[in-house]
Amino acid sequence: MIRGKFITLEGGEGVGKTTNLAFIKDYLEQHDISVVATREPGGTKLAEKLRQLLLDKKSEAISEQTELLMMFAARSQHIKHVIEPALAQGKWVLCDRFTDATYAYQGGGRNMKISVIEGLENLVQGNLRPDLTLLLDAPVEVGIERAGKRGVFDRFESEQISFFESVRRAYLLQAELYPERIKIVKANQPLADVQRAISDVIRTLLGLGGMNNAVSSGRRRSLK
């Protein structure tokens, strides 16, 4: 059995991850690929309970360290019970956020040490890394405005603009560090253009064609 591919979608809030995950799932299924669509934090019963606690504004104050450990606890369950079994069965796994979100939110947003995140990543994931990550990137205000139309703000969405700016910078740094894996898609353009750019990347992964200008890879740069 050929192992499936692991694709993740990343970006700040409201950039269109959920919308485009459904688009990619349809696109792959049209190419006869069996897809498991999932999300983080979440994806199993226990991980979804952790998600509820993490997003609930009424939870007792969650320390930065607790938040980081809860993300990886949820991820550990998710990998063992959903992601690894699906990949081993030859299915492709499409995941709305994964560990790049931890580097962006807990690393960039909460200033947790990158070396600590790396240690947990190695412990929980072993060699598992996404084959492809689509980073939907847009100015923070664009995402906040789109997400704000829902009218209800969770524990993360209630953060200040400066937090989301740090998250965006950390995501872009991840893209610079891993240009082969992380493809940046401009998300502040009409949905049809975003999806054209995404399908170009997916076609390349499927060995069907090249990429257009709406997609870029960052340049390699070392972390401070």
Q: Interface residues for ligand Z5A in 30-69 (CB under 6 A)?
A: 40-41
The 8-class DSSP code of residue 179 comes to: T
Q: Compute the least distance from the CB of residue 207 to ligand Z5A, in Å.
A: 27
Task: Rank residues 4 and 14 by Cβ distance to ligand Z5A and give the closer one.
Answer: 14
198: helix, coil or strand? helix
CB 10 within 8 A of CB 135: yes
CB 70 within 8 A of CB 50: yes
Task: Give the binding range for ligand Z5A (CB under 6 A) out of 12-20, 123-131, 202-210, 212-220.
Answer: 12-20
CB atoms within 10 A of CB 126: 10
146 lies in the binding site for ligand Z5A (CB under 6 A): yes
Cβ neighbors of 116 (< 8 A, separation 6 or more) are 68
Task: Give the binding range for ligand Z5A (CB under 6 A) out of 9-17, 56-64, 197-205, 209-217.
Answer: 9-17
Task: Rank residues 86 and 140 by Cβ distance to ligand Z5A and give the closer one.
Answer: 140
CB 206 within 8 A of CB 5: no
Q: Interface residues for ligand Z5A in 94-133 (CB under 6 A)?
A: 96-97, 101-102, 105-106
